[in-house]
Amino acid sequence: MNAILASELPGAADAARARLTAAYCRDETQAMDELVAQAALPPAGRDLVLARATELVARVRAKAGQQSAVESFMRQYDLSSEEGVLLMCVAEALLRIPDKDTADKLIADKLGEADWEKHLGKSDSVLVNAGTWGLMLTGKFIDLAEDTRRNFAGALKRLVANGAVMRPFSQPVLEACFKASNEIYADTSAKNPDFKKAYDSMAAFRSDEYLWWQVAEYTFDTFQIRARAHG
């Protein structure tokens, strides 16, 4: 019988498999003691690791003030905050949602629950603070009545009819926004060569087209505004 079955039975285990079999269900404390002993570094190697780790930490700390917009956003909304966890859960869930309607419902359900206002103005990054404003306003917009959200233009008309006055941004506000946006572009360009290449290309195109906009687009827009103002 043994001769008949010999060809069907597995051969003798090699050394690696024999060690695996011997380690199966062994005492955890004993196994860890052996592994820790194997992982121990000689003093010279330990000193090299410590020196390298110290160098890396020093370099990271030196660049702490040169965070990108994404790094600043991640620090403001880290996983120690409820809002950070919420954003992570929404981002992960959106990867699995196949249709837009369900995604919109998820965003509406989650963004309206968070207290975005407590993060307002807490970051050194203008872009992160602007993102916080956007999240806060989105959360408040979600809380509006269904008919208001579906017909926002109609809601604005009702506000005006009831006496609300809509005014454009003042010149100082526009100048501050323009200055802040240019600072963001310059800072991002200094840190990201790909962004700088794309932004320089866009700026060159905008400069070339500015003459046309002055004599065509802007002139017609101004004419329309004046025509509407005079009925």
Q: Largest Cα–Cα distance of the chain, in whole Å?
A: 108
Q: For residue 120, what pLDDT is reported?
A: 82
Q: For residue 68, what pLDDT is reported?
A: 72
pLDDT, one tens digit per residue, over 84-129 is 888 888 888 888 887 888 887 787 777 777 788 888 888 877 778 8
Q: Report the half-sphere exposure of 210 (CA within 13 A, side-chain side).
A: 7
Angle (CA) 188-190-191 rounded to 5° is 65
Rounded distance between C-alpha atoms, residue 98 and residue 95, angstroms: 8
- Amino acid letter for position 194: D
What b-and-e string marks burial along 91-108, b requiring 16 or more CB atoms within 10 Å of the CB?
eeeeeeeeeeeeeeeebe
For residue 1, pLDDT over 50 is answered with: no
Map tokens 């062994």 to a residue.
Answer: 26
Separation in Å, CA 125 to CA 39, 117, 187 = 43, 16, 11
Q: For residue 145, what pLDDT is reported?
A: 67
Residue 164, by phi and psi: left (phi above 0), alpha (psi -120 to 50) or beta? Answer: beta
- Contact between 133 and 121 under an 8 Å Cβ cutoff? The reply is no
Q: For residue 56, what pLDDT is reported?
A: 93
Q: For residue 10, what pLDDT is reported?
A: 66
Model-level pTM? 0.48
Q: For residue 48, what pLDDT is reported?
A: 92
CA 214 to chain centre: 37
Look over the chain and give the mean of its residue pLDDT values, rounded to a whole number: 81
Q: For residue 149, what pLDDT is reported?
A: 67
Rounded distance between C-alpha atoms, residue 128 and residue 141, angstroms: 20
The residue-averaged pLDDT of 65-77 equals 78
Residue 201: pLDDT band (50, 70, 90) is: very high
pLDDT, one tens digit per residue, over 15-35 is 888 888 888 888 888 888 888
